[in-house]
Structure 1
């Protein structure tokens, strides 16, 4: 399988495919960075949704906005991966490269 396809698939099911591709891919840095970023981003969006949802009136609306923004970001990341471009998200990519990639050496 091509590295662009692997990187795009690492975003498809969020943290699940992120872990799978981190575990099976040992050599391709592009796929590993994409998988680690997918893992951290999906957990970050999940945590934000869980925290915001419980705000009494505006929570469900904010949660929907986070979900829609996450969906748009997900589409952008998949398209960039197919184009063989690693799209760095400011804080998420730093966390994923410094911590998560070290777990799966």
Structure 2
């Protein structure tokens, strides 16, 4: 993961931007969408919201696709679920610390999209 170039800037939601960043990940893409719609100014919160949405859909898609493959799907799921939980906890902890880390590919895309959502 690479560091993101923005510091927590004030959130238009009235919530501390660090807390809002954490909440973007709390209920996967659902809270990501909520904060993406609600946030009007904080690039930090928008970044976390976008990264949460993208990562959620990709991880759910991988789980779904491999779930259809007998044996291999079970093995992949057995490995991927704990990794997903650890990743999500790490992203929430980093957001709460005021740090933003870009996941490979997803983070780049999220950074590029931040200014498009107002």
TM-score relative to the length of structure 2:
0.82
Distance in 2, matches of 1:99 and 1:24, equals 16
| CA-based RMSD | 1.4
**Is the Cα–Cα contact under 8 Å of residues 11 and 78 in structure 1 kept in the other structure?**
yes
Structure 2 residue corresponding to 1:68, chosen from 75, 78, 82: 82
The count of aligned residue pairs is 104
Distance in 2, matches of 1:45 and 1:9, equals 18
Equivalent position of 2:28 in the other structure: 14
Distance in 1, matches of 2:109 and 2:64, equals 20
Tell whether 2:81 aligns with 1:51: no
Equivalent position of 1:23 in the other structure: 37
TM-score relative to the length of structure 1:
0.91
Q: Secondary structure at the match of 2:20?
A: helix
> Is there any run of 5+ residues in structure 2 with no aligned partner, and where?
1-14
**Per-residue CA distance 1:50-104 (angstroms, 9 max, x = gap):** 11111111211211211111110000000000100001111111222334763x3
Runs of 4+ in 1 over 6 A off after TM superposition: none
